[in-house]
Chains A and B, each alone.
Chain A
């Protein structure tokens, strides 16, 4: 790891200011970034730690009934504090990695990183969440733009994520046991005006909405409704853990199981 300065601002305003320094990069839990720095895949001159910013921590409800989670809130805190408001989201957070990763890793870091196999991107896209940054609000549909690609601009910080709460939802993941990331996972959310299905771990383009499954489930919410559907595996991640065709198959299985779990 090359050396760097560390800034520890206590307000969003100071963090934004610190991000103005040359070659600055934000750091939240560091659970992704520290291994990346060790591998010298990133070499910032300044790390702006977001972990001391209280206004970016915690879970609350807004006037529209949305669950609002501060960008620097750890997975462990979401697992505990979102349980009463949005159990499917709390359950997603509770199954990320392992306890020590959950005590440091944050929703902002996960959403900013947009790993093609990460859990929160599926939760955010599947819920139709709004990503709040230090200067704007971005709909999840516009935010996730491909593998490790997001709508974030240079120096922009994810300060909060707002989740509309569906009438029912479930996150179904099949584990890749060595990394403890999902191999493939589906987030299915049933709203009064339709169903959203987001898939992670499968596509070379990162998290995506499975439009055909959404349509089928919006008119008939049952596992049978998606039984006949299939996705094309040719643009899916193919590695030693599974071929694209296998992952395409798992998308269907995970979606069906999520629907069955909702009942």
Chain B
């Protein structure tokens, strides 16, 4: 076992892990942060997307020891300080960007990474950026719309579907 220490959502976190322990397992099983979902476990679906040192990564395809010393952000740290939903989360609610919600943590984390890089994305930019996030419910339309809205753009012309 190796001891790992990292900052998760601004707080110090540590634990003993095996070499093979995935970051997703460490977050879920050791820290109890089960908002990071495991859909495919084969790096295809994006349900497990978290940020490591500010970059979106698939937590099912990164070893926990590789995150030693890193700053990790998960869905649990996304809400505003007063507990209200942040602008991306609120936009997902307002625009029905989720149905079952399984993909949502990964979608929100990917959206946050996109908007940091590209604060006013076009619809095509959003769709391209979500290449690695699969949703089995919504058909993507409202997810894309929510992310456009979260970027402060007028989405009234994008038809509801």
- Decide: A101 and B19 in contact? CB cutoff 8 A: no
- Decide: A100 and B66 in contact? CB cutoff 8 A: no
Does any Cβ of A come within 8 Å of B2's Cβ? yes
| CB-based nearest A residue for B54 | A103
| Among listed A3-11, A131-139, A220-228, interface-contacting one | A3-11
| CB-based nearest B residue for A180 | B131
Measured between beta carbons, the chain B residues less than 8 angstroms from A103 are 55-57
Which of A97-137 touch B at CB < 8 Å? 97-101, 103-104
Does any Cβ of A come within 8 Å of B80's Cβ? no
- Decide: A99 and B20 in contact? CB cutoff 8 A: no
- From A34, A76, A98, B62 is in contact (CB under 8 Å) with A34
Does any Cβ of A come within 8 Å of B155's Cβ? no
Measured between beta carbons, the chain B residues less than 8 angstroms from A152 are none
Q: How far is the CA of A2 from the CA of B61 in the complex (A)?
A: 15
- Decide: A99 and B113 in contact? CB cutoff 8 A: yes
Knowing A34-B43, A100-B46 are in contact, say whether A47-B57 is a contact too (CB < 8 A).
no
Measured between beta carbons, the chain B residues less than 8 angstroms from A245 are none
Measured between beta carbons, the chain B residues less than 8 angstroms from A104 are 57-58, 61-62
Contact code string B15-59 (vs A, CB < 8 Å = 1, else 0): 000111010000000000000000001110010010000011110
Knowing A38-B42, A99-B113, A180-B132 are in contact, say whether A2-B55 is a contact too (CB < 8 A).
no
**Interface residue range, chain B:** 20 to 34
Measured between beta carbons, the chain A residues less than 8 angstroms from B57 are 100, 103-104
Knowing A35-B42, A97-B132, A100-B46 are in contact, say whether A30-B62 is a contact too (CB < 8 A).
yes
**Interface residue range, chain A:** 20 to 34
Q: How far is the CA of A99 from the CA of B148 in the complex (A)?
A: 18
Q: How far is the CA of A119 from the CA of B20 in the complex (A)?
A: 28
Which of B82-139 touch A at CB < 8 Å? 110, 113-114, 129, 131-133
- From A5, A38, A51, A99, B19 is in contact (CB under 8 Å) with A5
Does any Cβ of B come within 8 Å of A200's Cβ? no
- From A1, A76, A98, A100, B20 is in contact (CB under 8 Å) with A1
The residues of A with any CB-CB pair to B shorter than 8 Å are 1-6, 8, 30-31, 34-35, 37-38, 47, 49, 51, 76, 97-101, 103-104, 180
The residues of B with any CB-CB pair to A shorter than 8 Å are 2, 18-20, 22, 41-43, 46, 49, 55-58, 61-63, 65-66, 68, 110, 113-114, 129, 131-133
Minimum-distance CB pairs A-B, first 10: A98-B132, A98-B131, A103-B55, A6-B19, A4-B19, A1-B20, A100-B58, A34-B61, A100-B56, A6-B65
5 inter-chain pairs at a CB distance below 8 angstroms, sorted by A residue, are A4-B20, A30-B63, A35-B43, A47-B63, A100-B58
